[in-house]
A and B are shown apart, each in its own frame.
Chain A
Amino acid sequence: MTTFTPRYRPDRRNFLKATGIIAAGLTFLPRGALAEEEKKLNFYNWDTYIGENTLAQFQEASGIETKLDIFADTSELFAKLKGGNPGYDVIVPSGSWVQRMVGANMLMELDHSKIPNIANVDPAFMNPVFDQGRKHSLPYMWGTVGIGYRKSKIEGTPDSWKYFFGDSPYSGQISMLGDARNVIGAALKFLGYSLNSVNPDELKKAEELLIAHKKNIKVFAPDNGQDLLASGEVVIAQEWNGDILQVMGEDDDIGYVLPSEGGQVWEDTLAIAAGAPHPNNAHAFINFLLDAKVGAEIAEFIQYGSPNAAAKKLTTPEYQNNPAIFPTAEALAKCEPEAYLGEEGQKLFEEAWTRIQAA
């Protein structure tokens, strides 16, 4: 684990930036009282998704006090911002939601000149489908949705969705995630289709497959599949790799594998909500998170894959070579990112999901 030496004084670059911010404020904001942003920032993030001391370090480095608020899934974030921004600055939406939120004018365009640490980001992440040219979002963490399992209770490696959608010997001891896209997406992948399919026939087949094998599934667990696995409630769980990794650290008997048919590859991003009260602080914060040292510390603490090439270099070999964080190129090639399907497409998934749950 790399150690981080706290900086008690702002370094030269931060000092220059701070003066720059003040100057910009004086120039562009005629409202005198708002010339300098108050030293505050409202950060809306997932739970356990930031380094242990990151916010304190940011305060030491910049003098900006960060208030952290937590959401459980991006739909909650979306619903909260939908009626107007209640005061959040930096938010952490998932990739496909970035596209949806840009469509609804819910994100502020980023000023790349205020985020010099963009240079640290792996170029492979700089032009994703959901935000070409990275106008509205920058990558924070990435990972996969695959299969977590209890090694001692499973023969071999459950490296296929067939354990979910076949005559599974583990019927009734399996959990899946609790949202339409992930559950139906897994069935689509098993059938050999794209998880972004909006073809009614393909969706129908996926729905029928899920309903026919529903007895295999003990529970649709929104965000606690890893706990179910850890407590012995289930032996196989569809889960986010980082969540499984967090329980793998406490229990050697838990493993993670990508299904041979492919799973989802996802990315969470850093973005600034439209109407953010502290846009300059928000840019400074995003820049801070993309710092190599800071990024390395966060990534190692939360055990998710960092898209920050400079940060990755500073991490331990254990982290860099962890197959659950960085799968082989071959396994990754079969995975797909989730795209925004338009409101009609999303509705097809949601209605099928209601029918699957009620069946």
Chain B
Amino acid sequence: MESWRNNRFLFWLLTLPGAFWLALFFVAPLSVLWVYSFGAKSGITDIEITGTALNYLRALDPVYFQIMWKSLWISAIATFVCLVLAYPIAFAICFAPTRWKPVLLLITILPFWINLLIRTYALMAVFRTNGFVNQTLGGAWNFFDGLFTGGSFPYQPLQLLYNDGSVIAGLVYVYLPFMVLPLYATIERLDKSYLEASLDLGASQFRTLMSVTVPLTMPGIISGVLLVFIPCLGAFLTPALLGGANAIMIGNVIEAQFKSANDWPFGAALSFILIYATFGALALRWVLTRKSQGEGA
């Protein structure tokens, strides 16, 4: 590939629109928010930028720590479930007949065509007490119950909605494609002869997976994990709709500061704590990919 230094004019010409977009819609609003995070409310709608660190200190209150911690582990579980589900899916797409690949990829991204809110409401219809899962299970249960015991053990609907499990299920459902796509991209590029060599040399399927496939697809795994983990960390719609009485995640606290609590400086500080955590994760990714590329080369 030609180095960008050989054609500086073209490079800048092509970079400019994207850079402009990022500056206008990403850097500028975030800067305003960052400045807000050092402000204090001086009236109902007025914010005075005093350079105070009080908003950040207030975020050290144990209750926010507790919520942050809960957000972390909910996101971690959701990301792990996504990875476990997406890996075989990505593999299946890669090893599918060529003419099926576009169709399978299309099916993977099909949910994006439907609004997140509508998909979440659809999940509620599936999981609720009189939802599709309970109807199906209840129908089967009552059939066999009627067959063997004459209906003496009526079906007790499972409480599937409004708990941490339903939040995790909702997050996995929404973010699964973000895991499948980067995994697919790396597995597709994987030289299949390595796998054959491993199997020919006597390694089991599992050993091949763990010692050859996983290390070689590590960049895709890391990308996928980040693409799922970071939005999960900031999720507020899913816990608000699918979560129970203690489903609150840090995204919900931030949302409340900008709405009902009307405390933008504190909301801004909480947002930035989340952003710093994200930067930390990205830095980690950089270190990890460098390491795995170093091994690969």
Q: A residues bordering B, Cβ < 8 Å?
A: 73, 75-76, 78-79, 82, 100, 103-104, 106, 172, 178-180, 214, 217-220, 222, 231-233, 343, 346-347, 350, 353-355, 357-359
Q: How far is the CB of A341 from chain B (nearest CB, A)?
A: 12
B261 interface residue per 8 A CB criterion: yes
Chain A nearest CB, measured from B94 CB (Å) = 41
Q: How far is the CB of B209 from chain A (nearest CB, A)?
A: 40
Q: Does B63 contact A (CB under 8 A)?
A: yes
- Whether B63 contacts A350 by the Cβ 8 Å rule is no
For B246, list chain A residues within 8 Å (CB).
214, 357-359
Task: Give the chain B neighbours of A353 by CB distance below 8 A.
Answer: 256
Question: Told that A231-B130, A233-B128, A350-B260 touch, could you supply 12 new A-B pairs with CB distance under 8 A?
Answer: A79-B258, A79-B262, A82-B45, A104-B43, A218-B162, A343-B41, A343-B43, A347-B261, A350-B256, A354-B253, A355-B63, A358-B246
Can you sample 17 A-B contacts with CB below 8 Å?
A73-B260, A75-B262, A79-B258, A79-B262, A82-B262, A103-B43, A103-B44, A218-B245, A219-B243, A219-B244, A233-B162, A346-B261, A350-B260, A350-B261, A357-B245, A358-B246, A359-B246
| Count of interface residues, chain B, beta-carbon cutoff 8 Å | 31
Q: Given A75-B260, A233-B129, are A354 and B63 neighbors across the interface (CB < 8 Å)?
A: yes
**Chain B binding site: helix, strand, loop or mixed by DSSP?**
loop
Check: B76 CB closer than 8 A to any chain A CB: no
Contacts of B244 in A (CB 8 A): 218-219
Q: In chain B, what residue has the closest Cβ to A350?
A: B261
B interface residues (Cβ-Cβ under 8 A, vs A): 41, 43-45, 63-64, 66-67, 70, 128-130, 159, 161-162, 240, 243-248, 252-253, 256, 258-263
CB distance from B249 to the nearest CB of A (A): 10
Q: Shortest distance in angstroms between B273's beta carbon and chain A's nearest beta carbon? A: 15
Tell me the smallest distance from the CB of A311 to a CB of chain B, in Å: 32
Which residues of A have CB within 8 Å of B43? 103-104, 343
| Contacting residue for A75 out of B67, B70, B259, CB 8 A | B259
Residue of A nearest to B66 (CB): A358
Q: How far is the CB of A163 from chain B (nearest CB, A)?
A: 15
A179-B262 Cα distance, complex, nearest whole Å: 13
Contact A357 B248 (CB under 8 A): yes
- A85 shortest CB reach to chain B, Å: 12
Contacts of A218 in B (CB 8 A): 162, 244-245
Within the complex, what minimum Cβ distance (angstroms) separates B289 from chain A? 35
Looking at A172, A217, A358, the one whose CB has the most chain B CB atoms below 10 A away is A358
Q: How far is the CB of B9 from chain A (nearest CB, A)?
A: 40
Q: Are A354 and B129 in contact (CB under 8 A)?
A: no
- Chain B neighbourhood of A217, CB < 8 A: 245
| Count of CB-CB pairs between chains A and B under 8 Å | 78
A222: B residues at CB distance < 8 A: 240
Residues in chain A near residue B258, CB distance under 8 A:
79
Question: Is there contact, CB below 8 Å, between A347 and B263?
Answer: yes
By a CB distance below 8 angstroms, the chain A residues around B41 are 343
In the bound assembly, the distance between CA atoms of A104 and B43 in angstroms comes to: 8
Residues of B within 8 A of A219 (CB): 162, 243-245
Q: How far is the CB of B124 from chain A (nearest CB, A)?
A: 9
- CB neighbours of B159 from chain A (8 A): 172
Q: Is the pair A231, B129 in contact by a Cβ cutoff of 8 Å?
A: yes
Query: Of A76, A103, A354, which one neighbours B259 at CB under 8 angstroms?
Result: A76
Question: Is A180 a contact of B253 with CB atoms below 8 Å?
Answer: no
Inter-chain contacts of B130 with A (CB < 8 A): 231-233
Q: Are B45 and A106 in contact (CB under 8 A)?
A: yes
Q: Give the 4 A-B CB pairs with smallest separation, nearest first.
A: A104-B44, A350-B261, A357-B248, A75-B260
* CA–CA, A104 and B42, complex, Å: 11
CB-CB < 8 A to B253: which residues of A? 354
A residues less than 8 Å from B261 (CB atoms): 346-347, 350
Q: Which of chain B's residues has its CB closest to A77's CB? A: B259
B280 to chain A, nearest CB (A): 23
Q: Which of A75, A100, A233 contacts B44 (CB 8 A)?
A: A100
Which of A73, A78, A354 lies in contact with B262, CB distance below 8 A?
A: A78
A350 B263 Cβ-Cβ under 8 A: yes
* In the bound complex, CA of A222 to CA of B255 (Å): 13
Q: How far is the CB of A100 from chain B (nearest CB, A)?
A: 6
Bound complex: CA A42 to CA B246 (Å):
38
CB-defined contacts of B64 to chain A, threshold 8 Å:
354
Question: Closest CB-CB distance, A181 to chain B, in whole Å?
Answer: 8
Nearest chain A residue, comparing its CB with the CB of B257:
A350
Complex formed: what's the CA distance from A232 to B128 in Å? 9
Q: A324 to B43, alpha carbons, bound, how many Å?
A: 39
